[in-house]
Every structure is written in structure tokens, then in C-alpha cells.
Amino acid sequence: MNAPGVRSLSLGEHYCEICPSGARIAGNGEVHVITPDGIIYCAPWLILHYIEDHGYVPPAEFVDGLLGDLPYSWNATSEHLCRVLLDDSLSPGWRVDAAIDLAGWQDDRVYGALLDASRDAELVDVSAMEIGVSLAVLWGRAGKVNFEIYKSALPQVQWGVYREVWSRNPDLAVDLSRPPEGFDF
């Protein structure tokens, strides 16, 4: 299962309008689910609550994306996401979302785009650990961490890699040095 992460957080919360008023189930932001053919579905974070507690059935393509096998094959979506990630004239939020979504592909072009983005200090500052998390996902699928790149990465990127590798594959993390303190958001 491709567990979606919450994105596009807002300053307030939305409460489920179906639950009794005392339940106060709240959500903030949206999830992105990518289908194997590269279509990106965006839905309110509460969609998971609506599915589990209220029996909502999303479109079959959404479910296929949620349950689909990763990594995906290179396609027009991954090409577009790489361009978004590397275009410094675009919104940093869009660029960070592209970095997160690109973790669904295992491709040298994706890896190259993430490495380029990991050297962009302003983007890394905005993304917190997300670029490092995406790199860690690719390294985890490959079964090895590039220690040279890890050691030379900005601290936020190191923390993303460190946390993600430790949570997904502790055997790969044994040789990772702990990143500098103060960047572990």
C-alpha cells in the first residue's frame, strides 16, 4: 500500500460533517495518490476517515493508486514532476510536493533531480526533511545508501534520510552517522 502523506496544510481544521457533533473528527490538508499511469489524485485528508468510518468508496483509479505497486515506470508525470522540482521560478510548495511525489519512481532521472534539489539551500530550507526522505526511499528500494552523498548533504537532507532509513530498513542505517542537531524538525 502506498501510504499518502498529508500536504498543503492550512491554518485551520475541517471537521467531519457526518459524525455526531461530539465526535469532532478533524482534518487539515490533503493527500496525493498517484496511479500507476501517473495520474495524481488530490483529496482532503479526511478522505481516509470517510472511507474507514462512513463507507465512502473513492474512484477505482484512486484505490489502484493507493494499493498499487511501486516504483512506477518513467512517464509524462514523472518527467513533469522533475521539471517542477528543478524550476526555481515556481512556488517552493509545488517544488516540495514534486520532491515527495517523485519517490514513487525508481529512475536515474528522478534520482538526479532529487540530488540537484538537495543542493538548493533555499528549497531544502522550505522542504525541511522531505527531499532527504525521498532520497532515502530510492536508496531503500536499491538496498544501499550512497554514504558519500549522505555525508556531503545539507543537514535537513541528512535528517530526512536518517529518519526514513531507520524507520524503513534499520539494517541499511547501521553505518549512518547521526546528522547535526538543530535540524531534526
Q: Give residue limits of the domains in the chain.
A: 6-67, 76-173
The Cα–Cα gap between 156 and 17 comes to: 38
Helix (H, G, I), strand (E, B) or coil at 136: helix
pLDDT in tens, 157-182: 999 999 999 988 888 888 888 888 77
Averaged pLDDT score across all residues of the chain: 87
Least confident of 18-22, 112-116, 142-146: 18-22
pLDDT confidence band for 119 (50 / 70 / 90): very high
Residue 6 exposure: Cα atoms within 13 Å on the Cβ side: 11
User: In this model, does residue 82 exceed pLDDT 90?
Assistant: yes
Q: Could you tell me where the DSSP H helices lie in the chain?
A: 47-54, 60-67, 76-86, 92-101, 108-118, 121-127, 130-142, 147-152, 155-168, 170-173
User: In this model, does residue 28 exceed pLDDT 70?
Assistant: yes
- What local confidence, expressed as pLDDT, does residue 138 receive? 93
Closest CA to 109 of 96, 94, 98, 121: 98
Distance of CA 59 to the CA centre of its chain: 22
The Cα–Cα gap between 142 and 72 comes to: 14
* CA dist list (Å): 113 to 70, 116, 125: 19, 5, 17
The Cα–Cα gap between 52 and 46 comes to: 10
Are 35 and 65 in contact, with CB atoms under 8 Å apart?
A: yes
- What local confidence, expressed as pLDDT, does residue 170 receive? 87
